Amino acid sequence: MSDWNPALYARFSSERDRPIADLLARVDLAAPKRIVDLGCGAGASTAPLLARWPQAEVLGIDTSPAMLEKARASLPAARFEEADAATWAPDTPVDLIFSNAALQWLSDHERLLPRLMGLLAPGGVLAVQMPDNLDEPSHALMRAVARRPTFAAALADVVESRTRIASIEATFDLLAPTSTRVDIWRTTYVHPLAGPDAIVEMISSTGLRPFLDALDETARPAFLDAYRAEITAAYPPTRDGRVLFRFPRLFFVATKA
């Protein structure tokens, strides 16, 4: 998959920043010394960590060189490293692992979540937010278009590449054995956007990326046209002409025993 586009991702910063604030508000730590922002991107989730705990050592981890370059330029008070969240491990236990909209890209949460809990110091916190939107029209329709004969051969692997995250109950069961407290919830954000094109633009930097990357320059515009037509039908305009883009997200904050 191609590298992330920081500028495109940032165009919808207000919609993407709200879950960060909602997750951070539920982290009950007075003075963590070592904080890791796992899947930090360009630093949108790292900045509020630095603002809340300016004395902490904050490390951002991401796989995207472009995102990390932007994060380093804008947040010199933090350190940033290129690494995979699936295998990354600190030298010593940390007090907070914060991960916003990153872990949904990884499979095998049955091993991943307990492993991350094991990287925390006693009393440390694992705070995670993940999009839970595979059944929303925005994502169901991209798979439906990808299965059309025109695109099926090129996108056969992509259609099933993102696995479903575990249910609330299954996630709780993974975290509870090593936690003194698990705070878990699901929120559906409703974003009023300018129109169907805005929906396509918003997710072209995230969920649509694997589909677009797998297509050649001839097939890519045709896929986008077919997908945009489906989105237009699925998201009718409100009275003022905007469309309401539903975006469910799963949150949890687990405190290590």
User: What is the rounded CA–CA span in Å between residue 134 and residue 162?
Assistant: 9
Positions in the chain short of pLDDT 50: 3-4, 9
Q: pLDDT at position 2, please?
A: 53
Mention every residue, 6+ apart, whose C-beta is less than 8 A from residue 252: 126, 127, 128, 171, 172, 175, 182, 183, 184, 185
The reported pLDDT for the residue numbered 7 is 56
pTM: 0.93
Percent of the chain whose predicted confidence (pLDDT) is above 90: 88
pLDDT of residue 254: 98
Tens digits of per-residue pLDDT, 170-208?
999 999 999 999 999 999 999 999 999 999 999 988 889
- pLDDT at position 100 is 96
pLDDT value for 161: 79
Residue 157 host element (H or E): helix 152-159
What's the CA gap between 3 and 212, in Å, rounded? 12
Identify the DSSP state of 104.
G
Q: In the chain, what are the domains?
A: 6-256 (3.40.50.150)
Closest CA to 39 of 52, 29, 49: 49
Q: What's CA 193's distance to the chain center, in Å?
A: 20
Phi, psi dihedrals of residue 43, rounded to the nearest 5°: 100, 10
CA 16 to CA 160: how far, in whole Å?
25
